[in-house]
Amino acid sequence: MPITTCVFDAYGTLFDVAAAARECAAEPGRAAFAAVWPKVANDWRLKQLQYSWLRAIADAHTDFWEVTQNGLDFALEASNLHNDPELRERLLALYWELSAYPEVPAMLAALKAQGLNTAILSNGSPDMLNGAVKSAGLTDALDAVLSVQDVGVFKPHKSVYDLVMQKFGCEPSQVLFVSSNCWDACAAVKQGFFTTWVNRAGEPMDRLPWTPQVTLKDLTTIPDIAKAN
C-alpha cells in the first residue's frame, strides 16, 4: 500500500532540543552557563529519555513536563549549577519555544502539497507540544498532534504507535514514521511502519532486533521518500 500518512517524533526530530540551552547561553550575564551549556543540554536530554523509559517499565507514568524538569535538575546539579533557580526557570521557559530545524517548514509544506496526512507522535504532553508547534509556526502544516498522554505510557510501548492507526484509519504499512531517536525508529519498524531514522549526529545504529529502512542526515528528502513508497 502507498504511504498516506507521515508521522514525526517531535523533540530532536522536528524541534532542536539543544535550542533552549544554546539560546540561554547566549544571553548577557550567562558566562558560567555558557562555559558548560553543551554538557547541560546533553545531560538534560539523556536523563529526560532515561526517566521516560524507567517510568514506562515501572508502570509509574507521569506528565512529560515533570520528566523534563527532573532531567534538567539532574543536568544542572551535574554541572554544579543547581543553586541558580533563575537559570532553571529560564531554561524551562525556553523549552516551550524550541526552534524547529531549518528544513522543517518546507518539508512539511511539500508533504501537504502531495496530499498526505502529517502528524506528530510524541512523549510530550499536549500543552508542551502545542506550545512548540505554535512557536515554530507549524500549526497549519500538521493534521494532528498525538501525545502519549492518551495511553498513559511512554514510547516505545506498542500502544503509543497504535494511536496513529486509530487517528487516521490507515494500515501500518501506509505510515512513514520519522524519528531522530534510533530506538524509536526501530520500535516503529516492529509496529509495521516504513521508518526513517534522522541521524543528525552521525551516531552508530542501536543494536536492536529491528532496523530502520532509511537513514538520513536531515529531513529535506522526506517528501521524496514518501512519494517513492
Domain 5-15+99-228: give its CATH code.
3.40.50.1000
Mean pLDDT value across residues 27-53:
96
- Count helices and strands in the chain by DSSP H and E runs: 10, 6
Which triple of cell numbers denotes residue 126? 499536549
d(CA 182, CA 84): 34
pLDDT at 113 > cutoff 90: yes
Q: Has residue 115 got a pLDDT over 90? A: yes
Find out whether 43 and 214 touch, Cβ atoms under 8 Å.
no
In this prediction the pTM is 0.94
Q: What is the pLDDT of residue 229?
A: 87
For residues 21, 200, 44, 58, the Cα torsion angle rounded to the nearest 10 degrees is 150
pLDDT tens column, 153-204: 999 999 999 999 999 999 999 999 999 999 999 999 999 999 999 999 999 9
Q: Which of 9, 16, 43, 184 is catalytic?
A: 9
3-state secondary structure 15-73: ECCCHHHHHHHCCCCCHHHHCCHHHHHHHHHHHHHHHHHHHHHCCCCCCHHHHHHHHHH
Q: Is the N-terminal amide bond of 156 cis, ω within 30° of 0?
A: yes
pLDDT for 99-111, tens place per residue?
A: 999 999 999 999 9
CATH class given for the domain over 19-95? mainly alpha
Domain range list for the chain: 5-15+99-228, 19-95
What is d(CA 99, CA 26) in angstroms, rounded to the nearest whole number? 15
CB-based contact 91:21 (threshold 8 Å): yes
Q: Report whether 19 contacts 184 (CB < 8 A).
A: no
pLDDT at 71 (0 to 100): 98
Task: Tell me if residue 9 is catalytic.
Answer: yes
